[in-house]
Amino acid sequence: MRPEIRLSLLTVLLATTPAALSAQTAPCLAANATTTSSSTAVSSYSLAGQNYFAWRFTPPANANFTVQAAKVFTRNASYPGDAFLAVELWDEVNGEPGSRLGGGVWEIDNTRAAGWRGANFDRAVTLQPGVPTWFVFVEPGFTQLITEPNGTFNLTHVSRAGTGAWSAATTSAPKFQLFCNLLDDQGVTTQGQGCPLSTGEVPTAFTNEPPTIGNSRFAYETCGNPPGGAVFAVIGGNPNFTPLAVPGLNPACMQNTDSISTLLLFAGNGDTRGPDYAGHARLGFAIPNSTGLANVFLAIQMVPLDLNATSPLPFATSNALRLRLY
């Protein structure tokens, strides 16, 4: 099992109705996102490898979006051990998903009911009006399907296991949200952007958990880091901190939070079947059940080691994830 640091704390539719969505900022593009109605069927486990489910959509003529994050409506209550879910955008080649453009990953918490969950992307993806794009959901098996029975927007759908061939096209109604901002929510905001690694990926910090008092399952997550590499988690407490340039880093790399404490994490090397995932790390941060913690501010920024960086200091930086406990 992957080691984990755990802290205790002293069609496609445009901008659907915010009241029906879990995120604080509405998605810039979404499909079947106005309800929580979803399939209760689960995916099978394939000996060929992790499952890929893909849906084809064409951004409308007025679309001018750069996608930074995505969510789907799902859960996985059955997969044993540490496992992950991933959301990605791919281009199209010969009517099928071609190459991955960008995406993100989060760790499964099998104690949670079905809900909207997702990740920031390791590469922002600019959608081109009228150019077909594929939304791809990657999972280990035994995951609740992200489709809505009798959904409004039915899209062309293909799937595959491992690196096998894509199945023949059918149609189904996926439930997904694409965001033109880094993920936020009630009590969760972001500051700044990540800067690219030497590979072009951008490290990012996010959470799928509400920062509520008594939430023992709260966790910070990060993806877009060098696989297997060191990631420093910088924890801050100043809500008035202004981003600063750091001498020796790439000029695009900013310090987005103050520093009270720094912890060492390690990014994984695996796929959705775990026990870790390439470029992903997680920091459990249990929030005690104490009303005195109401309105306490916390921030975190991820700083991965980039051994191939050309800057004097071989690091990149993520956005800061900022919390107000409630």
Q: Write out the chain's pLDDT in tens, 326 residues.
A: 343 433 333 333 333 333 333 358 999 999 999 999 999 999 999 999 999 999 999 998 887 899 999 999 999 999 999 999 999 999 999 999 999 999 999 999 999 999 999 999 999 999 999 999 999 999 999 999 999 999 999 999 999 999 999 999 999 999 999 999 999 999 999 999 999 999 999 999 999 999 999 999 999 999 999 999 999 999 999 999 999 999 999 999 999 999 999 999 999 999 999 999 999 999 999 999 999 999 999 999 999 999 999 999 999 999 999 999 99
Question: Which residues constitute the domain of residue 143?
Answer: 6-179
Which residue's entry shows tokens 């459990």? 284
Q: Is 200 left (phi over 0), alpha (psi -120 to 50) or beta?
A: left
Shared domain for 226 and 85, answered yes or no, is no
Mind listing the pLDDT tens digit for each residue in 242-286?
999 999 999 999 999 999 999 999 999 999 999 999 999 999 999
Per-residue CA distances from 212 to 53, 72, 117, 282, 296 (Å): 33, 22, 17, 18, 11
Q: Please give the Cα distance from 191 to 185 (Å, whole number).
A: 13
Q: Please give the Cα distance from 138 to 272 (Å, whole number).
A: 7
Which CATH number covers residue 194? Answer: 2.20.130.20
* DSSP 8-state secondary structure symbol assigned to residue 162: T
Query: Which of 179, 202, 229 delimits the end of a domain?
Result: 179
Supply the pTM of this predicted model: 0.92
Record the tokens describing residue 313, joined without a space: 């200091």
* DSSP 8-state secondary structure symbol assigned to residue 294: T
| CB contact at 8 A, 23 and 122 | no
The structural domain count of the chain equals 2
Residue 1 located in a structural domain: no
Record the tokens describing residue 8, joined without a space: 């205790």
Determine the 3-state secondary structure of 158 from DSSP: strand
Shared domain for 201 and 298, answered yes or no, is yes
Shared domain for 70 and 159, answered yes or no, is yes
- Nearest by Cα to 108 from 264, 202, 219: 219
Residue 202 located in a structural domain: yes
Shared domain for 78 and 171, answered yes or no, is yes
